Structure 1
């Protein structure tokens, strides 16, 4: 029996793609034997990473050479993720195996247009034009691939699994951020905006969960006089994220680049009011302001104002969060997304 082979990072790795893959596996992606996942990357040392990638390539090549693959589904981001998946995609194209190019990177346009040499860009575009189908997470990604010449593109949302029980919501004035601590995620914008929030809501606290530029973050917080109300728990696992969301009065993601951030979906599921920038698929996720507050990238006044509004008008914020929760149930629940994906597989395998 020919099977769909999905490739991407291990579900135990860090990052949004790993979270998406882990969710699909938990809701039955491999259940009937018609689909199989092969990891191409793990969070480990260089040699271990290289071994995992090489073994995955050998396994996929053997499956294709022996006629056991009906379709290759490749989860792709920027930088090393793109070049790693490019090898697998070229192997599939050599064996005339249909390919789904599933784009996740919020800064793929920058990667393609500014970080590749001319020869690399020519190779990448030629490869992408030959894929049979592309899945994207935002209008911008769809336009980019359309302009490149990809013929068949569909928007498929990231899935999130909704458990029956979650920690009870707590009353606080905590503002929570989850992600890498760097400029691209808007962390320094957030610190400066939070200084203005504190001037109006003195009891507010800021929690920045994730790895990254701890020294620079602490230095700026100290300069701004907010170091005493800043919490840096580092990388947080699923259980810790649930606890942090339960005690958060607001979730904030002031990113400069995104596609469809899983952290926003997690906040929506947890019933936490969301404030985020208008990037990637975020406006669609938040129904252009109906299910969360949207601000422009780098607009510190608007960011501070939105956070103050959430902290000051709790009934309105909770009503917004309830609308967001209902939107997740109808559009992003994992079994709904998996069903759509399987329907697409069925069409491409014909």
Structure 2
């Protein structure tokens, strides 16, 4: 199998110049892929040292008729101009629905002009999209993934899924994401004393992600209520964006509204402080392609409680850097939260192990090397 995880690309200084165009969301859009592109953009100098010139082409979304027209009238011509001006390799960052259809249309144009292409899957729920998309969508998926010169998955679980769509493992790579800002602060987490966790008198359980059903917020609220009935009252803080009103009502219906606080969308130092002040990080997702917030929490020295799906299986070492429970298992979720809240010594040891694991597998340098290796093999 031609998958790579953690390899170094020993590219010699005389390597021929390579121009790579990354295609993904932009124009103020938020989410996992936008974060990945921001991380890659911040590493242009590292890529340049490997003779790889990196540029990013941002597309409009399909949220409205106006944005659809902007895509057709601005993005498509702009993409063609970018290709004609000089690109050796087009790297498509793909999720589901509109993200897939936009990239597929641009992929056809890139192939028409003879450009080499990479399909990079970031969605943990892509199989559901494929299954319910109809014959035309399944045909497009097959043509896109099989026709690309290489396919990249953000985790081993996604790679196994891509191998099925692709028909084989040839040209298939596993390349995780990075969190450069958190990485720069990881040294502080490694030297943190066991009693330094949390600036509040009552450290909280932290969640960072979109406020959706698929992120397991219902199970997290249910586990909080279950712990209440067992005599343990925890504080829960949720950072992110989405239908806050819906989940505020849900917290009220579970009888835990006085323990739950929604802090909104956090960025930069504010988000890192949010991780550092927490007792632990918990995200009981139904699907998770990678888990950038999980990586950030690990780099900030926090143990993780996640589910036995997707990127968690790569990120979290069971019983060492955190715990993974079955998706939807509220009882197991509550028990793991209880264990780490009541044993801060174990939580601290797991947090320290989490920093080391994150740095060894997902440092910026290691991940850039994996990208460069992929590009050189494809070109």
TM-score (norm 2): 0.85
- 1:81 maps to which residue? 99
Aligned residues: 347
Shift of 1:345: 1.1
3-state DSSP of counterpart to 2:210: coil
Shift of 1:196: 1.7
Find 2:198's aligned residue among 170, 182, 187.
170
Find 2:317's aligned residue among 287, 299, 314.
287
Cα contact 1:160–1:265 (8 A) shared by 2: yes
- 1:10 maps to which residue? 26
In terms of mean alpha carbon deviation, does 235-244 or 38-47 score higher?
Answer: 38-47
Counterparts in 2 of 1:35 and 1:317: CA distance versus 1, 3 Å = same
In terms of mean alpha carbon deviation, does 42-51 or 226-235 score higher?
Answer: 42-51
TM-score (norm 1): 0.91
Shift of 1:132: 0.6
- Partners of 2:217 and 2:115 lie apart in 1 by 42
* 1:158 counterpart = 2:177: yes
In terms of mean alpha carbon deviation, does 87-96 or 213-222 score higher?
Answer: 213-222
Shift of 1:278: 0.9
In terms of mean alpha carbon deviation, does 202-211 or 188-197 score higher?
Answer: 202-211
* 1:37 counterpart = 2:67: no
The C-alpha deviation readout for 1:195-247, integer Å capped at 9, x for no partner, is 12234464521112122232321222212221111101222223331221121
Cα contact 1:13–1:43 (8 A) shared by 2: no
Counterparts in 2 of 1:313 and 1:104: CA distance versus 1, 3 Å = same
Which runs of 5 or more residues in structure 2 are unaligned? Answer: 1-16, 190-195
- Partners of 1:278 and 1:128 lie apart in 2 by 26
Shift of 1:98: 1.0
- Partners of 2:239 and 2:197 lie apart in 1 by 18
Tell me which of the two structures has the higher relative contact order, counting C-alpha pairs closer than 8 angstroms and 6 or more residues apart. 2
Counterparts in 2 of 1:201 and 1:153: CA distance versus 1, 3 Å = farther
Counterparts in 2 of 1:25 and 1:227: CA distance versus 1, 3 Å = same
- 2:160 maps to which residue? 143
Cα contact 2:119–2:144 (8 A) shared by 1: no
Shift of 1:131: 0.6
Cα contact 2:275–2:297 (8 A) shared by 1: yes
The C-alpha deviation readout for 1:73-110, integer Å capped at 9, x for no partner, is 01111111111111111111112211111100000011
Shift of 1:316: 0.8
Shift of 1:138: 2.7
Find 2:240's aligned residue among 196, 204, 210.
210
Shift of 1:187: 0.6
Counterparts in 2 of 1:71 and 1:145: CA distance versus 1, 3 Å = same
- How does 1:1-350 map onto structure 2 within 5 Å? 3-10=19-26, 13-28=29-44, 31=48, 34-41=53-60, 47=66, 50-51=69-70, 54-65=73-84, 68-114=86-132, 116-150=133-167, 151-161=170-180, 162-164=183-185, 169-171=197-199, 172-200=202-230, 202-349=232-379
Counterparts in 2 of 1:319 and 1:227: CA distance versus 1, 3 Å = same
Q: CA RMSD in A?
A: 2.4
Counterparts in 2 of 1:149 and 1:48: CA distance versus 1, 3 Å = closer
